[in-house]
Structure 1
Amino acid sequence: MHRGRRRKATYRNNASQDPVKSTESLSSFTSSLMESVALISVILALLTGCCAGQNVLPPGPVNGAVGGNVTFTTTIDPSTSTQFIVITWTFRTASASVTVITSSPGGEVPGPGYEGRVSVNRITGSLELRQLTVGDAGGYTVQLTPNGDAPLNGETTLGVYEPVSSVTVTANGTDLVEFNDTVSLTCSASGTSLSFRWHNGSSDIITSDRIHLSDNNRTLTVSSVLRSDSGSLSCTVSNVISKATSRLVILNISSFEYLLCLNNDM
């Protein structure tokens, strides 16, 4: 009798603890399931990023000249590609997005302001943009929609520049006296995003305690000129699409003793 009651009591104690263990097991199972779901989501996101979200445009920027043409070339291999169902190019600025062109088997529909200026390769999705203006500079995106597959996307930027032209150099003097005179030369040019370099003959001019560049390298100043500063000076102006060089400016530098001799002879 006592043994039966003891077993029954033990059974009741175990039964009273089972709900707690069941709750803990269920919580552990739920936590493991959520971790598995999160891991699967990360894997799917990575797979989607490698495939549908890949950038089908090479690293930019693409650069062009005002009035010229550029081609945004995709990375699509024409030998393995078929025509896309829809190709959409978009121009983006900080404040707006404008459709450049939409191309489908039914034809091409250019956006406002792009009529007659754009065309699309139906096999690769590449875009040709003609008659460039400064206003065309900015970001561009493309979406290529194949038949039955996820869209392919790409983005890049376009820079539009005025070509370099009309490069000239002016000097405050060209017949100078050694140790006595200071000469200042200024280079001017037309174009956008200009860089300036100075040369003496075929060698680049290097700054020193006597030789200074200012105004974004537009102005060259040589203090207390030496006869070694004599020569044919020029200025080369460049940007990412073009460059041009000025005519030569000849510096004649005489010694002070030579001038004294000349004055005595007179």
Structure 2
Amino acid sequence: MEKTRDGTPATVLLVLMQCVLASGAVEVQPSINPAVVGDTVTLSLSPTTSLKSGRWAVGDSLILTWQGDQQAVFPGHSGRASVNILTGALTLSSVTMADSGVYVVQSSEPQLMANTSIIVLEPISNVTIRVNQTKLMEFNSSAVIACSVSSGSSPSFLWLNGSSEVTASERVQLNDENSTLTVANVTRYDQGPFRCCVFNRVSNSTSDSVNFTISYGPDNMALTVNGQNTTSFLIGSNLTMFCSTQSNPPAQLQWAFRGVLLNTTGPLLELYSISEDQSGSYSCLAFNNHTNMNSNITTHILIGKSPLSGCKHHAANMWILLVLSLAGLFLSTPGKL
């Protein structure tokens, strides 16, 4: 037998070289990857190669062997695996998550070895969320929402508040691989709706939404008189004072005049044909019986005569003084008698 310089038989070296060349030239291409549980996956050789015999294995477990037009499927894949005896393509039906792994094909006619990895995933289904409570107090409560799925492999979790993604911050925590959302010291802007989106490489699903009822206020009060910022009015005018505040639930409103409560509640205080003695401070008092907080706002109203009347009286006095001054000047001038 002919040998090389190092003593290796030439025919063995030729076979090894053919294996290396064949292994590098042929690739295995899955028809689907990743695949969904229940799919049918075909592992084809590229470029297409005519194989007279060979075997397929996943990891250390044989799937099947074939020689010519005869093939033998091992028990672990009986009824689910078959090979194309011309091209060596392997077809697996009704795949399960256990079918994930590295698949290796070997052939002696011609000599080749190639492999590929496939992943089989279970689709996400039935995404649900649980909350600790839905009625919260601003700055004094925390919202905790847990998300879960009934089935699905390698799930990833994403949270939405309305259409905006929720990300971790000083008040927001994402725990348990992002499946649990905690919002500490909630504000009135944390009402929701919150939704949990779960996905993997083959599917996605979203939970129903949850909203929180957050009690807050009263604060940010405003008071207008006759819809304007003016606080001076004429005797005999009609006044409508409007009081507003941010509060949930809506605050109870009470009016006061010069510090004394009036028998008027609600956002409007109406005064008709006002007189001077109604000048003074008017206050709107707000109280939220859920938060036990209160707030107030005060405006000072001045009621008097028409500024125009005062101007006319002043002008008349000026004319009288001017006439008297001219008369005095005329009488005191010598030679005029």
Structure 1 residue corresponding to 2:34, chosen from 51, 63, 66? 63
> Which residue pairs with 1:217 in the alignment?
178
Q: 1:177 to 1:59 in 2, by over 3 A?
A: same
> Which residue pairs with 1:115 in the alignment?
78
Q: Spell out, residue by residue over 1:166-186, the C-alpha distance to the aligned partner (whole angstroms, 9 max, x if none).
A: 210111222333222210000
- Distance in 2, matches of 1:200 and 1:85, equals 60
- Distance in 2, matches of 1:231 and 1:180, equals 17
In 1, are the aligned partners of 2:45 and 2:89 still within 8 Å (CA)? yes
Q: 1:45 to 1:108 in 2, by over 3 A?
A: closer
In 2, are the aligned partners of 1:64 and 1:70 still within 8 Å (CA)? yes
Structure 2: give runs of 5+ residues left out of the alignment. 219-246, 253-286, 290-337
- Distance in 2, matches of 1:120 and 1:45, equals 25
> Which residue pairs with 2:335 in the alignment?
none
- Distance in 2, matches of 1:56 and 1:47, equals 17
In 2, are the aligned partners of 1:170 and 1:186 still within 8 Å (CA)? yes
- Distance in 1, matches of 2:42 and 2:100, equals 14
Q: 1:50 to 1:64 in 2, by over 3 A?
A: same
Task: Please tell me whether Structure 1 or Structure 2 has the larger radius of gyration of its CA atoms.
Answer: 2
Q: Which amino acid aligns with 2:134?
A: T
Q: 1:128 to 1:109 in 2, by over 3 A?
A: same
Q: Which amino acid aligns with 1:165?
A: S
- Distance in 1, matches of 2:142 and 2:100, equals 43
- Distance in 2, matches of 1:67 and 1:182, equals 43
Q: CA deviation at 1:58?
A: 4.5
Within 5 Å, which residues of 2 pair with 1:1-266?
Answer: 48=18, 51-54=21-24, 55-58=26-29, 62-77=33-48, 81=49, 83-92=50-59, 97-146=60-109, 150-189=110-149, 190-257=151-218, 258-259=247-248, 262=251, 264=287
Q: 1:104 to 1:121 in 2, by over 3 A?
A: same
TM-score normalised to structure 2 length:
0.56
- Distance in 2, matches of 1:202 and 1:71, equals 40
Q: CA deviation at 1:226?
A: 2.0
Q: CA RMSD in A?
A: 3.2
* SS of equivalent residue, structure 2 residue 98: helix
Q: Spell out, residue by residue over 1:203-227, the C-alpha distance to the aligned partner (whole angstroms, 9 max, x if none).
A: 2111100000001111000011122
Count of residues paired in the alignment? 219
Q: CA deviation at 1:44?
A: 7.5
Q: Spell out, residue by residue over 1:65-107, the C-alpha distance to the aligned partner (whole angstroms, 9 max, x if none).
A: 3333222232223xxx4x3101311121xxxx22212233323
Structure with more contact order per residue of length (Cα contacts < 8 Å, sep ≥ 6): 1
Q: Which amino acid aligns with 2:194?
A: L
Q: 1:229 to 1:49 in 2, by over 3 A?
A: farther
Range with greater deviation from structure 2 (250-259 or 134-143)? 250-259
Q: Spell out, residue by residue over 1:37-76, the C-alpha distance to the aligned partner (whole angstroms, 9 max, x if none).
A: 99xxxx9899546512225224999433333322223222
More strand by share: 2
Identity of aligned residues (%): 34
> Which residue pairs with 1:4 in the alignment?
none
Q: Which amino acid aligns with 2:209?
A: L
- Distance in 1, matches of 2:5 and 2:65, equals 42
TM-score normalised to structure 1 length:
0.70
More helix by share: 1
Q: Which amino acid aligns with 1:223?
A: A
Q: Which amino acid aligns with 2:41?
A: V
- Distance in 2, matches of 1:246 and 1:180, equals 27
